[in-house]
Amino acid sequence: MTPIAVAYITAAQGGGDSERWTRMLGEALGRPVDMRVWPNIGRAEDVTVALAWKAPGGALARFPNLRLIVSLGMGVDHLLLDAKLPADIPIVRIMDEGLIGQMSEYAIYYALRHHRAIPAYEASQRARQWKVEDFVDTADRRIGIMGLGAIGTDVARKFLGLGFPTSGWSRTPRNLVGIACHHGAAGLDAFLAGTDILVDVLPLTPETTGMIDGRLLGKLPKGAYFINMARGGHVVDADLLAALDSGHLSGATLDVFNEEPLPGSHPYWTHPKVLVTPHIAGETNPRTAAASVADNIRRLEAGQPLIHTIDRAAGY
Ligand code: GLV
């Protein structure tokens, strides 16, 4: 069977996972994949499909016969930043149940850690102190999810399943059973006022860049907790630090940053109310993601509509 020539393009730390992608995509397609791993792309004319994660600027413009760009992450901000991104080629993203499940695990783990006062118990153990912290009923801890796409929906449903009152905010209206859904600028204040743990899973777009600033954080109730597993670019760092230092926020778990890797001198590293993880909340897993890529390649070849497509104008 003729192999399909696919470019694998990433400038991310660690170089990605091209061997597993070659194997898993080949299995999902039922046909060999001739993977061209950037920058060793061979004859650029052969390539019709590109898998990209943080591709170097201009890289995708190198393939004259490219017909499909696949984002290897759920977010596509990394692609849309490329000034030379070919204009008329469809962009799809992976839809990875594995990654979505990991994101939910991450949010739930850090939310429960805060909810059950685990940091206080850890400190008590170190001090050999038998000390019971105040009890907060699950019914009194309101979870608010910003972003109700595939990830936000899964996260919200799982929090709801644990018994937390759960609400969501999104740009456009959504309707999810059991979840109080707010939308648009008009819905933001009410959403924030009813959120004790804010979980950010929004895409990074011009509209959401710098959105989490002092004004927005000020609308959360005093003592609220913030979990960012979306994009650091949403946050005005100085405002978040000020909200933590004033005691308005009780703490934050941050997986994503304005600059990654987070510079060694950044105050987040040592802030007593901040937990830092290195952008690991959801790792794309070729085992679970390859099926959606293979599905789109088959659709492309059969002239059928693609799925999980990106709206370049909306930015996600
Ligand atoms: C990770 O950040 C992703 O967008 O998948």
Q: Under a CB-based contact definition with an 8 Å cutoff, are residues 286 and 25 in contact? A: yes
Nearest residue by C-alpha to atom 4 in ligand 1: 75
User: The tokens of 94 are what?
Assistant: 């992976």
Say what the pLDDT of residue 13 is: 62
Residue 282 CA to ligand 1 center (angstroms) comes to 7
188-240 pLDDT, tens per residue? Answer: 999 999 999 999 999 999 999 999 999 999 999 999 999 999 999 999 999 99
Q: For residue 36, which of 24, 26, 51 has the smallest C-alpha distance?
A: 51
258-308 pLDDT, tens per residue? Answer: 999 999 999 999 999 999 999 999 999 999 999 999 999 999 999 999 999
* 274 pocket-lining for ligand 1 (C-beta < 6 Å): no
Question: What angle do helix axes 97-115 and 286-302 make, rounded to 10 degrees?
Answer: 140
Answer whether residue 15 shows pLDDT above 70.
no
CA distances from 229 to 26, 154, 233, 234 (A): 31, 14, 11, 11
Nearest residue by C-alpha to atom 5 in ligand 1: 73
Beta strand pairing call for 33-37 and 166-170: unpaired
Residue 86 amino acid letter: P
* 74 pocket-lining for ligand 1 (C-beta < 6 Å): yes
Say what the pLDDT of residue 277 is: 98
Residue 33 amino acid letter: V
Buried b (16+ CB within 10 A) or exposed e, 82-109: beebeeeeebbbbbbebbbbbbbebbbe
* 75 pocket-lining for ligand 1 (C-beta < 6 Å): yes
Task: Supply the DSSP string of 148-200, one letter for each residue.
Answer: -SHHHHHHHHHHHHTT--EEEEESS---BTTBEEEEHHHHHHHHHHT-SEEEE
Stretch (H or E) spanning 143? strand 143-146
Residue 304 CA to ligand 1 center (angstroms) comes to 27
Mean pLDDT of the chain: 96
Nearest residue by C-alpha to atom 3 in ligand 1: 73
Percent of the residues in the chain that have a pLDDT greater than 90, as a whole number: 97
- The residues annotated as belonging to the active site are 231, 279
Ligand 1 atom with the shortest distance to the CA of 99: 5
Q: How many CA atoms lie within 13 A of 31 on its CB side?
A: 12
Residue 74 CA to ligand 1 center (angstroms) comes to 5
Nearest residue by C-alpha to atom 1 in ligand 1: 73
Number of neighbouring beta carbons within 10 Å of residue 111:
23
Residue 146 CA to ligand 1 center (angstroms) comes to 16
Residue of 154, 258, 284 to mutate, ligand 1, most atoms within 8 A of C-beta: 284
Say what the pLDDT of residue 1 is: 81
* 73 pocket-lining for ligand 1 (C-beta < 6 Å): yes
Task: Assign 90 to helix, strand or coil.
Answer: coil
Residue 14's pLDDT band, with cuts at 50, 70 and 90, is low
User: The tokens of 166 are what?
Assistant: 């759960």
140-193 pLDDT, tens per residue? Answer: 999 999 999 999 999 999 999 999 999 999 999 999 999 999 999 999 999 999
Q: For residue 229, which of 172, 281, 164 has the smallest C-alpha distance?
A: 281
Please provide the size of the chain in residues: 316
Which tops the pLDDT comparison, 14 or 96? 96
